[in-house]
Amino acid sequence: MYICTKNTSMQINPFLTTGYISKEYFCDREKETENLINYCTNGNNVTLVSLRRLGKSGLIQHVFENLKDNETIETIYVDIYSTRTLEDFIKRISEAILKKFPEKTPFGKIFWEFIKRLRPLISFDNITGDPQVQIMYQSEHEKTSTIQNLFEIIEKQNKRVIIAIDEFQQINEYPEKNIEAILRSQIQFLKNITFIFCGSKQSILYDMFSNAKRPFYMSTQFMNLDKIENNKYAEFIKEKFEKGEMNVTNEAINLILSLTKTYTFYTQKLCNKLYGMKPEQIDIELVKNSYFEIIEETKLSFLQIRELLTKAQWNYLIAIAKEEGISKITSQDFLMRYKIGTASNSKRLMKALIEKDLINKIHTIKESTYCINDVFLNHWLKESY
Ligand SMILES: Nc1ncnc2c1ncn2[C@@H]1O[C@H](COP(=O)(O)OP(=O)(O)OP(=O)(O)O)[C@@H](O)[C@H]1O
Ligand SMILES: [Mg+2]
Dump the DSSP string for 168-187.
GGGGGGSS-TTHHHHHHHHH
Q: What is the mean pLDDT of residues 99-127?
A: 81
State the pLDDT at residue 202.
Answer: 81
pTM of the model: 0.91
Q: What's the average model confidence in pLDDT over 207-236?
A: 93
Domains of the chain: residue spans and CATH: 29-224 (3.40.50.300), 230-302 (1.10.8), 309-384 (1.10.10.10)
Ligand 2 centre to CA of 354 (Å) is 18
The band of 140, judged by pLDDT with boundaries at 50, 70 and 90, is: confident
What residues line ligand 1, using a CB cutoff of 6 Å?
16-19, 26-27, 29, 50, 52-58, 200, 228, 264-265, 268
Flag whether pLDDT at 42 surpasses 50. yes
Is a pLDDT exceeding 50 seen at residue 59?
Answer: yes
The whole-number pLDDT of residue 8 equals 45
| Mean pLDDT of all residues in 142-153 | 86
pLDDT computed for residue 10 by the predictor: 62
Average pLDDT, the chain: 91
Nearest CA residue ID for atom 8, ligand 1: 55
121 strand-pairing partners: 134
Atom of ligand 1 nearest to the CA of 17: 29
Ligand approaching nearest to the C-alpha of 225? 1
Supply the residue whose CA is at minimum distance from atom 1 of ligand 1.
27
Q: pLDDT tens, 176-208?
A: 888 899 899 989 889 999 999 999 888 889 889
Percent of all residues in the chain with a pLDDT value above 70, rounded to a whole number: 97
* AA identity, residue 371: C
Q: Cα separation of 4 and 58, whole Å? A: 10
Residue 6 has pLDDT above 60, yes or no: no
Reply yes or no on whether the pLDDT at 229 is more than 90. yes
**Residue 54: what pLDDT?**
95
Q: Which of 2, 4, 55, 7 minimizes the C-alpha distance to 28?
A: 55
Host H or E run for residue 222: strand 221-224
What average pLDDT does range 292-314 have in this prediction? Answer: 96
Closest ligand by atom to 59 CA = 1
